[in-house]
Amino acid sequence: MHDMSAQAVQHHAPPTSFIGKHIFSLDHKVIGKQYYALALVAVVIGMVLSWLMRIHLAWPSAKIPLLHYLSANGAAGNVMTPEYYLQLMTMHGTIMVFFVLTTAPFAAFGNYFLPIQVGAEDMPFPHFNMMSFWVTFVSFLVMIASFFVGDGPTLGGWTQYAPLSAIGPSSGPGQGMGVVLWASSIAIFCVGQLLGSLNFITTTLDMRTRGMSLWRLPLTAWAWFITSVMGLTAFAVLMPACILLILDHVAGTSFFVASNLVISDQVQPHSGGSTLLWQHLFWFFGHPEVYIAIVPGMGIVSHVLITNMRRPLLSHRVMVYSMGALAVLSYMVYGHHMFVSGMNPFSSLVFSFPTLIITIPSTIVVLIWLGSLYGSKLRINSASLFSLGFISMFISGGVSGFFLAQPSIDIMLHATYFVVGHFHLVMAVAAIFGIFAGTYFWFPKMTGRMMNETLGKIHFWLSFVGAYCIFMPFHYLGLAGNVRRYQAFVDDYLQPLLPVHKFITVAALVTGAAQLIFLYNLVYSRFRGERAADNPWQATSLEWSTPTTPPPFDNFGGQHPVVYHDPYQFGIEASSGDYVMQNSPEEIHTVRDEK
Amino acid sequence: MATTVHDPPKSGIDQKHPALTTTGDGNRGGFLPVDGNLREVKHYSPPPGSTGIWVGIAAIAMTFAAFTSALIVRKGSSNDWQPFTLPIILYLNSVLLLASSVTLEVGRRRVAAFMAGVKTHRARPARWLYATLTLGIFFVAGQYAAWKQLRAQGVFLATNPSSSFFYLLTAVHALHVLGGLAGLLLVIRRLRSCVLRRSTLDIASRYWHFMDVLWLYLLLLLWMTL
């Protein structure tokens, strides 16, 4: 009835117009690149915001040129007000988490490579896929618009804790229209990611080509599949939460605001709402979101390392099981964000157990990487260096998680820079390193040209050392009692820590500037880079077997590949060398098949 | 160790698990290649829409689960919850929606029979689908009537958390039913121009029945908590 191999391969015709090709494209590869471009714009904005914050923290009375153009009230005379600091901080977190860490490793690379890796010509619902990007784009515009509306963006932090987020303008600048725009943007974003997850799941389950059994999927495909399942359930909860928040603002409902709350000398007109309800709904999304950001990176790092080690991981299946366990457990640990929220202390204990248990699959993943690397002759290139950097960041950031997982210790460390250091290393920097690894690895396939390796290595070392210089001192600050989300530390007990803040600020400026090397490399190599071969890394998975580079519109030139081998057949003797590609019919002695 | 060379695994699955080879669904969800030479693994893949609709249903169910937990937490968080009597018309609406599921199922079977060549009378299945469409529109109109009735009694969205959740849940559900109606229109248009695939109708009806079940769940939830 529906024989994929006999069917005409193209289920939508190639576009002919400029708009059809590059703007409202149905092609998953174009959509993937659009997501990547969006993430690139977002990460630049997010990074500049972090610079502004860091400069203000180190030199609170410093004048930052041109800042008053961004907000006449928030930066009169180019000096940031305390409120404006919080507004910029909120936007930094929101833009980075949603529009960079979710879009780049998952939506961008996943869109581009998942269909090719399973041997399909496209995702099953190309129109939904196109909508997914453009809905996300609209959500980004709505978020950015809040800079220019009324008194600027919301200052509630990316977590938008109620009740301050729910009572409107009396709780500060940006708390009226700013919050409504924030919640609307995130609700729209959820729609985009739900459409994306729908496509990812069905692609993995239904679009696999002949011979591509689930265990033959590369680890990247597994990672995207697991991430999309998390995305489907997490974003489906965040969206109703945002709807409730918007209603509290515009319709006068009382979901999140308790009775007789006095803010700015006004009794709030709401009654009986539950402030903890927002935190429950938000973190039920928020914790899986951490894994939505990091699991694709785990897939990418494994994929890149295996290719450069020239041998498979110690265990393909345990890797997959561990990523799956992370996904399942990520829903059971969210209460560890709420240890000091006033939640029943017994709940803290209950949430503490799975939080400690989730370190087990994380540790297994790390041990598989390290065990596989041990004694391997790793090819050192930009992609493999960033993969090693990912592992390093994941370990450094993960170890501090043990401390925070225990309620008794978290009571002291909560809302200090220790937490900021923890999540920046384990989630932000690690995920960004995953994105870099993916970029250096797949750039040849996406553009047909190689990136400059020397620049890539310089970029790596500056980023690697820089990231540690920025985020390691955060732990020290936190242990010293430096609370987060304060705009300045000049007049109180934290003054002795100011030199550390100055060091961090300088490190952040230098490390940020080092990213210009990457941007230059990206743009230069796109047009002037050395021409790439079809399979420059001698890799095995299907994305390297496309008839042209970059792949043609339907990926495999009018036919579906047939898959004969497990994904990572390295370290063998085959006619092509020490590896055999998945679609090669050559009979080989397979490596370490797992029964 | 990783570099050890072994013989290729014998894939004796055919003998051990004959069921695996007879499902005929191209090893969908199967982790192992079914066949020894692996060229024959994927004969047939189900139309992605039939997986997709389950994924979509899961997402919608998750959304309503979130609303439900919000309702339960909000009700328990304070003593300001004021119950009100559900408008009687809601029960009539429920009957309409249930009836629409029945007509859709009859229509779906007729289309299936027609496609299998059992019946050649083309107009009939469309008639059942039109009946479903009409009942669906009446359902949404009935929900609107229930809202108007409550407004007339002075029960508005912000009157009380109970009414907030009532309007919210019924409105979000009605929006999803409107989506289902759009899907039904598409199915009818395709049926009329003879390009309807059975899988499309199956998917649309699965969604419609889910709307039905979801509504019964919501009605029970509201009846229990209001």
Q: Say how many CB pairs under 8 Å bridge A and B.
A: 185
pLDDT < 70 positions in chain A: 1-11, 590-595
Query: Are B92 and B20 part of one and the same domain?
Result: no
CB distance A291 to A327 below 8 Å: yes
CA-to-CA distance for A242 and A183, rounded, in angstroms? 5
The predicted model scores a pTM of 0.92
Q: Which of A209, A240, A312 sits opposite B66 (nearest CB)?
A: A240
Contact B38 A571 (CB under 8 A): no
Find the CATH number of the domain harbouring B154: 1.20.120.80
Q: How many domains does chain B have?
A: 2
pLDDT of residue B119: 59
Query: Are B5 and B62 part of one and the same domain?
Result: no
Query: Are B190 and B86 part of one and the same domain?
Result: yes
pLDDT of residue B26: 38
Q: Which of B3, B62, B67 sits opposite A571 (nearest CB)?
A: B3
Query: Are B124 and B198 part of one and the same domain?
Result: yes
Of residues B109 and B42, the one with the higher pLDDT is B109
Query: Are B144 and B186 part of one and the same domain?
Result: yes
Query: Are B104 and B67 part of one and the same domain?
Result: yes
The domain made up of A31-580 has a fold known as Cytochrome C Oxidase; Chain A (1.20.210)
Mutation target among B55, B160, B166 for the A interface, most CBs of A within 10 A: B55
Query: Are B93 and B1 part of one and the same domain?
Result: no
Query: Are B85 and B36 part of one and the same domain?
Result: no
Range of the domain at B101: 48-225
Question: Cβ contacts of residue B123 below 8 Å, gap of 6+?
Answer: none
Find how far residue A471's CA is from the centre of its chain: 18
In the predicted structure, residue B41 carries a pLDDT above the cut 90: no
So where are chain A's domains? 31-580
pLDDT of residue B32: 45
- DSSP state at residue B153: T
The token duo for B105 is: 């199922």
Contact B6 A589 (CB under 8 A): yes
ipTM score of the complex? 0.93
CA-to-CA distance for A536 and A544, rounded, in angstroms? 8
pLDDT of residue B45: 57
- DSSP state at residue A150: T
CA-to-CA distance for A372 and A309, rounded, in angstroms? 8
* CA Rg value for chain A: 24
For A493, A500, A502, B7, the CA distances from A61, given in Å and listed in that order, are: 18, 17, 13, 71
pLDDT of residue B126: 84
Query: Are B40 and B65 part of one and the same domain?
Result: no
CA-to-CA distance for A557 and A553, rounded, in angstroms? 8
Query: Are B178 and B190 part of one and the same domain?
Result: yes
Query: Are B65 and B3 part of one and the same domain?
Result: no
User: Is the minimum CB–CB distance between B10 and chain A shorter than 8 Å?
Assistant: no
Ordered alpha helix ranges (H), A207-258: 219-250
Minimum Cα–Cα distance from A1: chain B residue = B44
Contact A244 B39 (CB under 8 A): no
User: Is the minimum CB–CB distance between A138 and chain B shorter than 8 Å?
Assistant: no
Average pLDDT over residues B196-223: 94
Query: Are B39 and B81 part of one and the same domain?
Result: no
User: Is the minimum CB–CB distance between A202 and chain B shorter than 8 Å?
Assistant: yes
Q: Is the peptide bond before A550 cis (omega within 30 degrees of 0)?
A: yes
User: Is the minimum CB–CB distance between A564 and chain B shorter than 8 Å?
Assistant: yes
CB distance A197 to A155 below 8 Å: no
Most confident of B24-28, B39-43, B51-55: B51-55
